[in-house]
Amino acid sequence: MRIGKDLVAAAATPVVLGILADGESYGYAILQRITALSGGELEWSDGMLYPLLHRLERQGHVHSEWRQADSGRPRKHYRLSEQGAAVLADQRRQWSVVGDVLSKVWPDDGGPRLRLAFGEA
């Protein structure tokens, strides 16, 4: 299944902030975590993640620090800031409202309109 570009973009900030709420991480690990959490349905590229991380850092939502990986290569680690935690809490509330609305218009049994939309009427 292909997840629409607009939906992926809308969820990008809360997904990354949510991952960093579990603890600091670095780019490649964040990409791997997104793929694992989505069961492989979301596969972000470096070109999507790093501009987002840079924007979140400029906005003060995350802090970063360069460290040396076990391989000896420098690796930039990101962690959630206090401000980022507040933004994440606000975004969780907003997504909860959206989820509640969707659960009402998309009932578990599919409902007649949803079955019609999937050609099951």
CB 14 within 8 A of CB 92: yes
Edge to edge, what strands does the sheet with 25-26 contain?
25-26, 74-80, 62-68
Q: Among residues of the chain, what percentage have pLDDT more than 70?
A: 89
pLDDT value, residue 106: 87
Interatomic CA distance for residues 76 and 61, integer angstroms: 16
* pLDDT at residue 2, as a whole number: 83
pTM: 0.86
pLDDT score of 113? 63
| Averaged pLDDT of the chain | 92
Query: CA–CA separation, 100 vs 98, rounded Å?
Result: 5
Question: Which residues in 49-84 are b (16+ Cβ under 10 Å) and which e?
Answer: beebbeebbeeebbbeeeeeeeeeeeeebbebbeeb
Tell me the pLDDT tens digit for each residue of 12-56: 999 999 999 999 999 999 999 999 999 999 989 999 999 999 999
Please state, in angstroms and rounded to a whole number, the distance separating the CA atoms of residues 64 and 53: 9
Q: What is the mean pLDDT of residues 49-70?
A: 97
Residue 114's pLDDT band (cuts 50, 70, 90): low
Which residues, listed in sequence order, are joined to residue 25 by a DSSP beta bridge?
A: 78
